[in-house]
Amino acid sequence: MTARARPGAGLEGSRVSFARGDRLVVDGVDITVPRGAVGALLGPNGAGKSTLLHLVAGVEPSSSTSLTLDGDDLVSLRRRERARRIALVEQDAQAPDGLGVEHVVGLGRIPHQSAFGGDSARDRELVARALAAADASAFAGRRYDELSGGERQRVNLARALAQEPDLLLLDEPTNHLDIRSQLATLGLLRRLASDGLSVLAALHDLSLAAAYADHVVVLADGRVVAAGDPTDVLVPALIRAVWGVEAAVLRHPSTGRPLIAFAPVEADAAAAVDLPSATAAPSGNLAGAAGRSR
Ligand SMILES: Nc1ncnc2c1ncn2[C@@H]1O[C@H](COP(=O)(O)OP(=O)(O)OP(=O)(O)O)[C@@H](O)[C@H]1O
pLDDT band of 96, cuts 50, 70, 90: confident
Q: Is residue 141 part of a domain?
A: yes
What is the per-residue pLDDT for 293?
Answer: 36
* Ligand 1, atom nearest to 172 Cα: 27
Nearest to 68 by CA among 3, 14, 107: 14
Q: What is the pLDDT averaged over residues 242-249?
A: 96
- Going from the Cα of 161 to the center of ligand 1, the distance in angstroms, rounded, reads 26
Do residues 30 and 39 touch, judged by C-beta distance below 8 A?
Answer: no
Q: Is residue 217 part of a domain?
A: no
| Complex ipTM > 0.95 | yes
Q: Is residue 169 part of a domain?
A: no
Q: Which amino acid residue places its CA nearest to atom 18 of ligand 1?
A: 48
- Going from the Cα of 220 to the center of ligand 1, the distance in angstroms, rounded, reads 12
Contacts of 274 (CB under 8 A, 6+ apart): 241
pLDDT surpasses 60 at 61: yes
Quickly list DSSP for 148-175: -HHHHHHHHHHHHHHT--SEEEEESTTT
Contacts of 161 (CB under 8 A, 6+ apart): 1, 87, 108, 129, 130, 133, 134, 168, 192
Q: Which amino acid residue places its CA nearest to atom 16 of ligand 1?
A: 48
pLDDT band of 59, cuts 50, 70, 90: confident
For 73, 108, 113, 156, 163, the CA distances from 122, given in Å and listed in that order, are 29, 13, 11, 20, 12
Give percent of the chain with pLDDT exceeding 90: 68
Q: Is residue 132 part of a domain?
A: yes
Do residues 26 and 52 touch, judged by C-beta distance below 8 A?
Answer: yes
Q: Which amino acid residue places its CA nearest to atom 4 of ligand 1?
A: 20
Q: Is 63 helix (H, G, I), strand (E, B) or coil?
A: strand
Q: Is 132 helix (H, G, I), strand (E, B) or coil?
A: helix
pLDDT surpasses 70 at 161: yes
Model confidence over 4-49: pLDDT tens digits? 434 568 999 999 999 999 999 999 999 999 999 999 999 999 999 9
Residues in the chain: 294
Do residues 37 and 286 touch, judged by C-beta distance below 8 A?
Answer: yes
Which of 16, 18, 20 should be mutated for ligand 1, with most atoms under 8 A from CB? Answer: 20
Q: Is residue 133 part of a domain?
A: yes
3-state secondary structure 215-267: EEEEEECCEEEEEECHHHHCCHHHHHHHHCCCEEEEECCCCCCEEEEECCCCH
Nearest to 162 by CA among 101, 208, 204: 101
pLDDT surpasses 50 at 292: no
pLDDT surpasses 60 at 284: no
What is the per-residue pLDDT for 4?
Answer: 42
Nearest to 104 by CA among 130, 133, 83: 130
Which of 16, 45, 242 should be mutated for ligand 1, with most atoms under 8 A from CB? Answer: 45
What residues does ligand 1 touch, defined as CB less than 6 Å away? Answer: 20, 25, 43, 45-51
Which of 27, 49, 273 should be mutated for ligand 1, with most atoms under 8 A from CB? Answer: 49
Please tell me the total count of domains within the chain: 1
Tell me the torsion sign for CA atoms 226, 229, 235, 240.
Answer: positive
What is the per-residue pLDDT for 274?
Answer: 60
Model confidence over 189-237: pLDDT tens digits? 999 999 999 999 999 999 999 999 999 999 999 999 999 999 999 999 9
- Going from the Cα of 5 to the center of ligand 1, the distance in angstroms, rounded, reads 35
Give percent of the chain with pLDDT exceeding 70: 86
pLDDT surpasses 80 at 283: no
- Going from the Cα of 101 to the center of ligand 1, the distance in angstroms, rounded, reads 29
Q: Is residue 140 part of a domain?
A: yes
Nearest to 139 by CA among 150, 122, 124: 150
What is the per-residue pLDDT for 281?
Answer: 47
Model confidence over 137-151: pLDDT tens digits? 999 999 999 999 889
Q: Is residue 146 part of a domain?
A: yes
pLDDT surpasses 90 at 294: no
What is the per-residue pLDDT for 269?
Answer: 57
Nearest to 130 by CA among 99, 169, 161: 161
Q: Is 109 helix (H, G, I), strand (E, B) or coil?
A: helix
Q: Strand 66-69 vs strand 38-42: parallel, antiparallel, or unpaired?
A: unpaired
The residue range of the domain holding 150 is 96-163
Mean pLDDT (the chain, rounded): 87
Q: Is residue 131 part of a domain?
A: yes
